[in-house]
């Protein structure tokens, strides 16, 4: 189930609030001895988190489906960098990290109960009640933990104020609706900053250098065209060589299939218009100060790479921020 980005917390008895954890979204499937972990983009995650697989397999319940977040605790916070290190091709490296920086699973929804029957059509308030019973009976509270929730707006505001380190913001969910995969009507996310997941559709080399100078960012429209929406040059100097190698391995068409980067303008300070097109495989999350007319205007900063996101999930809809409780904010 997807979340719609909004500027403020929705209010009303139909909403409940949860922390938005800084990790990888994960759906867990258990059927007997078989355990599968699936990312938000429907990619398999089990090989990257063997300690989570073993924890799920050790539960006494034999058939269920959970929705939650995988995170890596470090020094009383969650480390997204440590999480990214786990997406590694070498089994030996993964096993080493699973011991040195073990991940946890934070569960916030139950999609199929201990008897394996689907709960998708039940309203969230009923699924949550069953999840709490399920957690009390089965969770180990070490590797697999139950995410908190609240009906109180005051609690949601406290969580939002504490965002950073462990929390990425808060999630508001409709208590009276069932679980609707791929839809954004029943769930909203609120952060202390604006961000968007973008496809890297191309890049420019730095002036007089053979290392990346800026990433060219793209979002898909409803017709499936990838439009250039801006760029970010806020890349740490120590990371530029490694990122350049990653980008050069993906050079190729089509690049942008809709609106493409243009020549020098007031947005790029007269820099060269030459750019390298990339196959649409890489996704990054960027923060931004302002967007208008379907593009970022200034203040775009690279936050992180998102290997857990499908490029097709990077839609223009992200820039259409909506206010959830305007009347409540007006004096």
pLDDT string in tens for the chain (331-residue length)? 888 888 889 999 999 999 999 899 999 999 999 999 999 888 999 999 999 999 999 999 999 999 999 999 887 778 888 998 999 889 999 999 999 999 999 999 999 998 889 999 999 999 999 999 999 999 988 899 999 999 999 999 988 887 766 778 899 999 999 998 877 778 999 987 788 999 999 999 998 889 999 999 999 999 999 999 999 998 989 999 999 999 999 999 999 999 999 744 333 444 446 899 999 999 999 998 777 778 887 668 999 999 998 999 999 988 864 433 222 221 2
What pLDDT is stored for residue 164 in this prediction?
67
Domain boundaries, the chain: 4-190, 194-319
Active site residue 20: yes
pLDDT of residue 329: 20
The architecture that CATH gives domain 4-190 is 2-Layer Sandwich (3.30)
Q: Which CATH architecture best describes the domain 194-319?
A: Beta Barrel (2.40)
| CA–CA gap between residue 30 and residue 62 (Å, rounded) | 6
- Distance CA(224)–CA(268), nearest Å, equals 26
Identified catalytic residue from 20, 173, 271, 309: 20
Please report how many Cα atoms fall inside a 13 Å half-sphere around the Cα of residue 23, on the Cβ side: 26
- Which pLDDT score, from 0 to 100, does residue 22 have? 85
The radius of gyration of the chain's CA atoms, rounded to the nearest angstrom, is 21
Q: According to the model, what pLDDT value does residue 11 have?
A: 94
């Amino acid at each position: 189930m997807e979340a719609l980005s909004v500027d403020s917390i929705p209010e009303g008895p139909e909403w409940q609030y949860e922390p938005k954890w800084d990790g990888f979204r994960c759906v867990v499937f258990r059927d007997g001895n078989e355990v599968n972990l699936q990312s938000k983009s429907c990619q398999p995650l089990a090989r990257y988190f063997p300690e989570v697989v073993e924890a799920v397999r050790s539960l006494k319940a034999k058939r269920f489906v959970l929705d939650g977040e995988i995170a890596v605790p470090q020094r009383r916070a969650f480390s997204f960098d440590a999480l990214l290190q786990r997406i590694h091709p070498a089994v030996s490296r993964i096993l080493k990290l699973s011991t040195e920086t073990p991940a946890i699973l934070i569960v916030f929804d139950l999609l199929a109960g201990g008897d394996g029957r689907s709960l998708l059509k039940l309203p969230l308030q009923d699924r949550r009640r069953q999840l709490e019973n399920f957690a009390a009976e089965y969770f180990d509270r070490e590797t697999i933990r139950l995410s908190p929730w609240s009906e109180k707006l005051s609690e949601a505001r406290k969580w939002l104020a504490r965002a950073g380190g462990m929390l990425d913001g808060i999630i508001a969910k409709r208590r009276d609706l069932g679980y609707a995969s791929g839809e954004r009507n029943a769930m909203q996310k609120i952060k202390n900053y604006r961000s968007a997941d973008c496809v890297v559709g191309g890049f420019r080399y730095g002036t007089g250098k053979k290392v990346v100078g800026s990433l060219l960012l793209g979002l898909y429209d409803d017709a499936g065209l990838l439009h250039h929406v801006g760029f970010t040059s806020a890349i740490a100097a120590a990371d530029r060589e490694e990122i350049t190698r990653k980008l050069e391995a993906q050079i190729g068409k089509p690049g942008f299939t809709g609106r493409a980067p243009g020549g020098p303008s007031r947005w790029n300070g007269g820099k060269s218009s030459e750019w390298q097109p990339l196959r649409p495989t890489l996704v990054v999350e960027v923060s931004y100060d302002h967007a208008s007319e379907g593009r970022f205007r200034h203040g775009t900063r690279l936050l992180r790479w998102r290997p857990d996101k499908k490029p097709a999930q990077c839609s223009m809809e992200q820039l259409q921020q909506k206010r959830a409780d305007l009347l409540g904010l007006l004096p």
